DNA sequence: AACGCAACTTAACCTGGATTAAGAAATATA
DNA sequence: TATATTTCTTAATCCAGGTTAAGTTGCGTT
């Protein structure tokens, strides 16, 4: 159960005083399963680092349907403020899908982080990796069938399939639970 | 027609000697319309900064169909090496859809860039913005109809609609040119 | 144990967008 | 200017996945 500072080896890039200041902006806390951390429309959304458990971010469309944008198991960072941009309707909710231990980076922390002239390489590298995941997801959504996307999900996140309910997997894949059920039946029978 | 170094104010973060070294790794060149810069499967894909014109990156599926991942008009950076990662089947092609003036960052440049312990804030900020665009695109692909995605595209990239052929817009939206044609007809008639 | 509810499945039917094929309009090449 | 080639449109048909509705199955509560 490593902390954000450990996970990204951020200490190595800072003077002890700076490190101290950063750490003072990080609050550790426990959240219960189902607890909502961030509601759509809240300003200055916080950022969360998951030490234990699993969070998710999702949007809700006009019909009330949830669309899961990402799962954040141990070691992941999750936030909604990536959407603070021109033409930005799609804001996100964040909640805990398991009882979790998290670190919360508040507004001051983010401001301080954003003011520093350079960004530690490991943080940047993490972002590049995340981008690759998003890129891949877009290409899959554009060119692959629901079956192919499901198989890709299973291969990419083998542990998640055991940890989250099917309806959430369906929501992540962009299909209905009924359609996922049909696909799983197909796989269980011959059609692999 | 600003260069990469200017656009990101990178000079401000470096010593003159470092700046000199960086600049020596950047090659400016002109590419003709239709010229392919990077083929799927090529190792150590280069990164391109567009000074003038427009590039695009795209994948090609088993049926030979192209899926445009992004357009890169003036001021954009485009590369395929975001996919140099675990489980990475979907590599991209890059070509010029207009005659363009570009800067090419070669392998050595990227290596040098990747070795530095910190990343200039403006580069990081650009990446965060790009992430927001990708996030938005994923949510749209999951929850919006083709008509809604087309309208969103027009709002987000008003100039692109005039610059690229329809079939490329269709490819970017994840639909066929026929379907886009139908949508446009609908918009031209009453159904706004 | 019995209830209540949410998660999952099944099945019938519907629809948005794909496919196929053909023609019209625009662009390039001679 | 004529001709070839690519782009765009129209229309007919098809199908993956959505919608609706009715079961099951599983599980937490009292």
pLDDT 10s digits, B6-40? 877 677 777 777 777 777 778 899 999 999 987 77
B189 CA, D11 C1': Å apart: 17
Instruction: Determine whether the interchain pair B130/A129 forms a contact, defined as Cβ–Cβ distance below 8 Å.
Output: no
Among candidates B119, B128, B155 on the partner chain, residue whose Cβ is nearest the Cβ of A87: B155
Cα dihedral B79→B84→B85→B90 (10° resolution): 70
Examine the pLDDT at B160 and tell me if it is beyond 60: yes
User: Per-residue pLDDT averaged across B61-88, rounded?
Assistant: 76
For residue range A75-129, what is the model confidence (pLDDT) as tens digits? Answer: 988 887 654 443 344 478 899 999 999 999 877 777 777 788 888 888 888 888 8
- In this complex, which of B59, B139, B174 lies closest to A67 when CB atoms are compared? B139
Q: Minimal Cα distance from A173: which residue of B?
A: B142
What is the distance between the alpha carbons of residues B136 and B180, in angstroms, rounded to a whole number?
20
- Asked whether residue B74 is assigned to any structural domain, the reply reads yes
State the nearest Cα–Cα gap between B188 and chain A, in angstroms. 24
- Is A39 a member of any domain? yes
B59 located within any domain: yes
Measured CA B62 to C1' D9 distance, in angstroms: 27
Q: Which residue has the higher pLDDT, A50 or B18?
A: A50
Mean pLDDT of the region A149-156: 94
Does a structural domain hold residue B93? yes
Position B87 confidence tier, pLDDT thresholds 50, 70, 90: very low
Over residues B102-118, mean pLDDT: 80
Contact (CB, 8 A) for B42 and B31: no
Is B32 a member of any domain?
yes
Cβ-defined contact of B174 to A141 (cutoff 8 Å):
yes
Report residue B126's pLDDT band, with 50, 70 and 90 as the boundaries.
confident
Note whether B106 and B46 are within 8 A (CB): yes
* For chain B, percent of residues with pLDDT exceeding 90: 41
Mean pLDDT for all residues in chain A: 84
Contact check, Cβ <8 Å, A136/B83:
yes
The per-residue pLDDT for A82 is 55
The most confident of A77-91, A124-138, B165-179, by mean pLDDT: B165-179
Provide the CATH number for the domain around residue A56. 2.60.120.10
Question: Is residue B90's pLDDT more than 70?
Answer: no
CB A30 within 8 A of CB A143: no
First to last CA, chain A: 38
Instruction: Give the closest residue to A47 by CA, choosing from A123, A90, A6, A107.
Output: A107
Q: Domain tally for chain A?
A: 1
The model's pLDDT over A9-38, given as tens digits with 9 standing for 90+, comes to: 777 777 777 777 777 778 899 999 999 987
Please report whether residue A190 resides in a domain.
no
Note the pLDDT of residue B105.
Answer: 84
pLDDT band at B146 (very low <50, low <70, confident <90, very high): very high
Which of B69, B132, B156 minimises the CB distance to A138? B69
Residue reference for tokens 């959304």: A45
At residue A191, the pLDDT reads 47
Other beta carbons within 10 angstroms of residue A77's beta carbon come to 19
**Is A188 part of any domain?**
no
Instruction: Identify the domain containing residue B11 by its residue range.
Output: 4-116
> Does a structural domain hold residue B69?
yes
* Average pLDDT over every residue of B117-137: 85
Query: What pLDDT does residue A24 have?
Result: 78
Among B7, B1, B2, B10, CA closest to B109: B10
- Per the CB < 8 A criterion, the answer to whether A81 and A113 are in contact is no
Mean pLDDT of chain B: 83
pLDDT beyond 50 at B112 = yes
- Of all residues in chain A, the percent with pLDDT exceeding 90 is 43
- The B residues from 134 to 173 touching A (CB cutoff 8 Å) are 134-143, 152, 155-156
pLDDT band at residue A44 under the 50/70/90 scheme: low
Q: To the nearest whole angstrom, how far is the Cα of B134 from the nearest Cα of chain A?
A: 7
Whether chain A has a CB inside 8 Å of the CB on B87: the answer is yes
């Amino acid at each position: 159960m490593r902390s954000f500072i450990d996970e990204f080896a951020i200490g190595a890039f800072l003077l002890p005083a700076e490190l101290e200041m950063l750490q003072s902006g990080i609050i550790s806390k426990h959240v219960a399963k189902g607890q909502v951390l961030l509601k759509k429309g809240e300003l200055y959304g916080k950022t969360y680092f998951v030490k234990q458990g699993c969070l998710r971010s999702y949007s809700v469309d006009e019909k009330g349907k949830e669309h899961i944008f990402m799962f954040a198991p141990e070691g992941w960072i999750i936030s909604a403020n990536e959407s603070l941009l021109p033409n930005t309707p799609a804001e996100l909710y964040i909640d805990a899908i398991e009882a979790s231990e998290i670190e919360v980076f508040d507004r001051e922390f983010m401001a301080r982080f954003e003011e520093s002239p350079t960004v530690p390489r490991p943080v940047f590298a993490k972002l590049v990796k995340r981008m690759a995941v998003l890129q891949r997801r877009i290409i899959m959504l554009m060119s692959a069938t629901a079956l192919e996307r499901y198989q890709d999900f299973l291969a990419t996140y083998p542990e998640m399939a055991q940890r989250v309910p099917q309806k959430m997997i369906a929501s992540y894949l962009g299909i209905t639970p009924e359609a996922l059920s049909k696909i799983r039946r197909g796989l269980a029978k011959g059609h692999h």
